[in-house]
A and B are shown apart, each in its own frame.
Chain A
Amino acid sequence: MSDLIARSDRLRAAALLSPAYIWLTVAVFLPLSAMIFFSLLSDVPFGDRTWHFTLENYGAFFESTTYARLLWKSLMLGVTVTVVSVIVGFPCAYVLAKVVRGRARGALFLLVILPFWSNSLVRIFSWAIVLRGNGVLSTAIDAVLPWDVRINLMFSPTAIVIGLVHSYLPYVILTSYLALQAIDDSLIEAARSLGAKRRTILLRIILPLSTPGIIAGAVLIFVPVVGSFMEPRLLGGRLGTYYGTVIEDQFVAVFNWPLGAALSFILLAVVLTILAIASPILRRAQV
């Protein structure tokens, strides 16, 4: 009898689960597999084009240093944005979790997270308005400083980093905040009553206990930044050629899809490696 109930339960579970997972399979997992297949072709297999299997597309990556150098450039951009975001974001999360009290905390927390859930393209565009020469920033600085300064950050690597930090900063604030909130205040009280200095409390209690949260935030920032193309394109101008923009070009400008697929797959491999290394920490941080 119990076996019978279990079987009907199993059917119900399957009926409830399969639509969502079939959808994910068709829209995400099969496409990712198709991308691997495509990256091994000499030409797109549409119409009457002739094609054969080849490793040429991966060869293109390893033959010249062009693509490897761009991948390195993107990885370094990821490191820069991640480090800046952690340094700027952690103290902010600390203030939210341990200094602000009561109802204000929830409201301020929402204010910090809110931009993250608004349109990222529009936010990058807003930086273009602020940073352009003769724009608001340069006018404001001109008005404050007595001597003549011409600031034109637009179309520079700095502009790209500013835009990306703005886009992803809330991630590390969110994960650090959750980790910091989990630290029992009485632990800090105990340390203080035993005579621990502020620095000791920070270095021996708060930082070690919030490390999983910081790392989770860092991974969540690093991964999308390495694959970014819209931000470098809009804020970097001619200097904005990165690994992501080259992939974009293969699909929308050059129409070399097999090469684009190979470059995408190499990026995917890098990303999955990073996620795999970080996954025990991510699981501990429960994000």
Chain B
Amino acid sequence: MSNRFLSRIGLLYLGMILFFLYAPILVMAVMSFNASEFYQLPFSYSTEWYERLQRNDEILTAAWRSVWIAIITTIIATTLGTSAAIALFRYEFTGKRVLQVLLFPPIAIPWLITGTAMLIFFFGVGIGRGTPAVIIGHVALALPYVIVVVTARLSTFDRSLEEAARSLGASAWQVTRGVTLPWILPGVIAGGLFAFAVSFDQFVVSYFLAEPGDSTLPVLIYTAIRKGFTPEINAVSTIIIAISMGIMLLAARFSNFGGER
């Protein structure tokens, strides 16, 4: 077998994997333009389900709630995460290793456990369920991602630039604002986009923390699917997946996910 033949097979295999990853999403999207309420084939084009979506107040309210929860989460997580990443990069102190390890539980522990634990605790301290609880939870889940992404960008930063600025008389804040921040800005933007995606796509934690009549879009979709679904769910799902893929493509422009260096 020649090498060329083998690499053809390899590429074919890669194509099959991509088919497996994208085909169901495409089918779902195509079905959102199918007129039949019961997903019957043959396909006949219609935008009826998108029109219905525009009149569905319940879904629209939940969609806006999801968006602004994601925006608030992004702002808080990016600010707190970037400052923490700068401190972890700039200063040497005892316990630094512990702080870095503590970033992993929110990522590694299944969201089912984190979500139910948050529900119990927030009820116990009087925060209860609802949008504030959801935001507190989302920020906590997004923070480690922001810190990891910004730290990765900081590792390409030349420390001597900070020292040079300082020896020329700049204050710590001036160094941060004038030297460090401009350099790590792509990392901060990528971290912010990750934070937005974590919040906007978050289902599990929102599911346990959102108030029943006051839910986010993914929670509403989950409830609707369990009741029996219509192409309207396809339509809203197609919009969601387009938004989240668009955001990740943007994030990829600003950082490269540990791909090519």
Residues in chain A within 8 A of chain B (CB atoms): 9-10, 12-13, 16-17, 19-21, 23-24, 26-32, 34-35, 38, 45-46, 88-89, 91-92, 94-96, 99-100, 105-106, 108-115, 117-123, 125-130, 132, 134-136, 139, 166, 169-170, 173-174, 178, 220, 223-224, 226-230, 233-234, 244, 247-248, 251-252, 257, 260-261, 264, 267-268, 271-272, 275
Given contacts A111-B18, A244-B112, list 6 more A-B pairs with CB under 8 A: A24-B143, A31-B121, A34-B121, A129-B24, A252-B207, A272-B109
Is B201 interfacial (CB-CB < 8 Å)? yes
* Contact indicator B24/A95 (Cβ below 8 Å): no
* Contact indicator A126/B24 (Cβ below 8 Å): yes
* Contact indicator B27/A230 (Cβ below 8 Å): no
Main secondary structure of the interface of B (DSSP, over half): helix
B168 cross-chain contacts in A, Cβ below 8 A:
none
* Contact indicator A106/B256 (Cβ below 8 Å): yes
Name the CB-closest residue of A to B79: A19
User: Interface with A: B47-55, B57-65, B181-189, B245-253, which one?
Assistant: B245-253
Question: Which of B108, B144, B237 contacts A126, CB < 8 Å?
Answer: B237
Question: Which of B120, B144, B237, B245 contacts A257, CB < 8 Å?
Answer: B120
B254 cross-chain contacts in A, Cβ below 8 A:
none
* Contact indicator B252/A27 (Cβ below 8 Å): no
Total contacts A-B at CB 8 Å: 260
A169 cross-chain contacts in B, Cβ below 8 A:
17, 20-21
Interface residues of B in 99-120 (CB under 8 A from A): 99, 102-103, 105-106, 108-114, 116-120
Per the bound structure, the CA–CA distance linking A254 and B223 in Å amounts to 17
Name the CB-closest residue of B to A233: B226
| Minimum C-beta distance from B102 to chain A (A) | 7
Listed by A's residue number, 15 A-B pairs whose Cβ atoms lie within 8 Å are A31-B118, A88-B17, A99-B10, A112-B18, A115-B21, A117-B251, A119-B218, A123-B25, A130-B24, A134-B40, A136-B41, A226-B110, A244-B110, A267-B112, A271-B108
| Minimum C-beta distance from B134 to chain A (A) | 11
Per the bound structure, the CA–CA distance linking A106 and B91 in Å amounts to 34
* Contact indicator B112/A119 (Cβ below 8 Å): no
Residues in chain B within 8 A of chain A (CB atoms): 7, 10-11, 13-14, 17-18, 20-25, 27-28, 31, 39-41, 76, 79-81, 83-84, 86-88, 90-91, 93, 99, 102-103, 105-106, 108-114, 116-124, 136-137, 139-140, 143-144, 147, 172, 197, 200-201, 203-204, 207-208, 218, 221-222, 225-226, 229, 233-234, 237, 240-241, 244-245, 248-249, 251-252, 256-260
**Which residue of A16, A92, A170, A174 has the most chain B CB atoms within 10 A of its CB atom?**
A16
B21 cross-chain contacts in A, Cβ below 8 A:
111-112, 115, 166, 169-170
Per the bound structure, the CA–CA distance linking A43 and B22 in Å amounts to 47
Name the CB-closest residue of B to A178: B258
A45 cross-chain contacts in B, Cβ below 8 A:
124
* Contact indicator A13/B93 (Cβ below 8 Å): yes
Per the bound structure, the CA–CA distance linking A118 and B218 in Å amounts to 12
Per the bound structure, the CA–CA distance linking A143 and B241 in Å amounts to 29
**Which residue of B41, B99, B108, B201 has the most chain A CB atoms within 10 A of its CB atom?**
B108
